[in-house]
Amino acid sequence: MAGMVRLWTLEAMAHGAELVSYFRWRQAPFGQEQLHAGLLRPDDESAPVLGEVETVAREIGDLGPLGSGPRQVALIFSYEADWVTSIQPQGAGLSALWAAFDFYSGLRQMGLNVDIVHPSASLDGYELCVIPCLPIVSDVLLRNLEKFCGQVVVGPRSGSRGTDFAIPDGLPPGALFPGKVSRIESLRPGLAHEGDGWRIEQWLEHLETDAEPELVAADGTTASWRAGSIRYLGAWPTPDIVRALLGLAVLDTNLSTHNLPEGLRLRQAGDHIFAFNYGNESCDVPPSIPECVVLGDRKIIPAGVAVYKNVLN
């Protein structure tokens, strides 16, 4: 789609990139890379995308230094977690990578700044910490969570393995949440427990816990529990259940969310708010976005970008 290279470049900038390097500068006339486009054609003439790159270079210069975005959400991910769930998937598509993707998508749909961080990273300054799926939990993470003053959301299969790949003696999720996973169900296609605007599908953990049930299906099956500032999701994080769970967690923070149209995503950098339209239709930014337009307009075309100036919480 025309405009996507410009969009990707500005999104990288909004996320703090110091350099965007395009692969490749010129399309190769031989070998497999004949099939890879470049900024220039094989005859050294400009390819269509070069105009986008020239435009975005001017825009970046006009915007100037942006500063860092606010620390809102820390999403904890490790490739080790994905390796564990790939070795023992226990169901098609039930990997830590896809769990992280589903949570990330839900958070971005709320207009929040999301930083993907390693389990050993500091959580200082964040309002919300999301652990989509982390089978092996380090002592460093537990210490950081103990000091953390914000809300925590823990996803399924977290704390389910030790460093020797065995089930922990105390059963998962271990020190992450006060309870024990006593039984797990892999739900076959078509089998679901219906909730209020959400459903439990694919994966379900039953917990022995004194924690408060929070998301409960119509048949009494519990999808998530809450103990103080920590929520545990025992179901697979499908988009609808992620939306419901994160909505509850954000209510207990100082974060402001936005009702975004489909395909629209936000990122704050300093006092600038970037809006990116990944959809196939033009869309209007919600009234919660500041009025001061620095780039673009209030209506954003497909693959379009707009920038507004103010400070979001």
- pLDDT tens for 39-82 read 999 999 999 999 999 999 999 999 999 989 899 999 999 999 99
d(CA 26, CA 29): 9
Reported pTM:
0.93
pLDDT at 311 over 70: no
What fold is seen in the domain 4-68+258-309?
A: Immunoglobulin-like (2.60.40)
* Phi, psi (rounded to 5 degrees) for 280: -95, 0
Tens of pLDDT, residue by residue over 151-171, are 999 999 999 999 999 999 999
**Predicted confidence (pLDDT) per residue in 256-288, tens digit:** 999 999 999 999 999 999 999 999 999 999 999
Q: What is the pLDDT of residues 228-243, one digit of tens each?
A: 999 999 999 999 999 9
What percentage of the chain has pLDDT greater than the value 90?
A: 92
Adjacent-strand bridge partners of 301: none
CATH number for 73-251 (one of 3.40.50.880, 3.40.190.10, 1.10.287.110, 3.30.450.80): it is: 3.40.50.880
Domain ranges for the chain, please list them: 4-68+258-309, 73-251
Nearest to 130 by CA among 275, 253, 274: 253
User: Which parts of the chain fold into alpha helices (H)?
Assistant: 4-14, 48-63, 79-87, 96-109, 139-147, 239-251
Band (312; pLDDT cuts 50, 70, 90): very low
Is the preceding omega at residue 183 within 30 degrees of 0, hence cis? no
User: Residue 174 has what DSSP assignment?
Assistant: G
